[in-house]
């Protein structure tokens, strides 16, 4: 049962988008798995980046509360089509505001933000290993 009465929150929790996995071995995929130590929520976020440095696909899996699930879903929708430069500006505040998260659930916003940063970092490290420029 969801106790947040924000319609967007309820929609993302009840009908999460972009749930699943991408090929983490692909040089075009950045992967991050992050945890909130206080509550144990875990999010795995993956981005697939095209040759123009646009995020063409984004997937997530979450083991956690309803807010973490909704945050993962909303985050993947936001990331779709963004450039890496745009994605680096992603803030958990966007998730908090859109989903109407209460202070005790804002850890889910930080979880999403950390996952985005980690996936971008992983993608950049793969580029570096291939001898491509790191932005």
For the domain made up of 7-129, give the CATH fold.
Answer: Sufe protein. Chain: A (3.90.1010)
Q: The tokens 């996936």 sit on which residue?
A: 119
Helix (H, G, I), strand (E, B) or coil at 32: strand
Tell me what pLDDT residue 5 has.
73
For the cut 50, the answer to whether the pLDDT of residue 1 exceeds it is no
Tell me what pLDDT residue 41 has.
95
Q: Taking a C-beta distance cutoff of 8 angstroms, is the pair 112, 71 a contact?
A: yes
Q: For 99-133, what is each residue's pLDDT tens digit?
A: 999 999 999 999 999 999 999 999 999 988 877 76
Domain boundaries in the chain?
7-129
Q: For 23-70, what is each residue's pLDDT tens digit?
A: 999 999 999 999 988 889 999 999 999 999 999 999 999 999 999 999
């Amino acid at each position: 049962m969801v106790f947040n009465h924000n319609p967007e929150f309820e929609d993302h929790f009840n009908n999460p988008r972009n749930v699943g996995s991408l090929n983490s071995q692909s040089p075009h995929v950045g992967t991050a798995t992050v945890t909130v130590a206080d509550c144990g929520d875990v999010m795995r976020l993956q981005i697939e980046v095209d040759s123009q440095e646009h995020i063409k696909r984004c997937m997530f899996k979450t083991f956690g509360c309803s807010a973490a699930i909704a945050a993962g879903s909303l985050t993947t929708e936001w990331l779709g089509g963004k450039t890496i430069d745009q994605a680096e500006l992603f803030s958990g505040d966007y998730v908090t505001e859109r989903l109407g998260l209460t202070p005790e659930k804002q850890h889910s916003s930080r979880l999403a933000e950390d996952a985005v940063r980690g996936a971008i970092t992983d993608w950049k490290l793969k580029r570096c290993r291939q001898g491509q420029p790191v932005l």
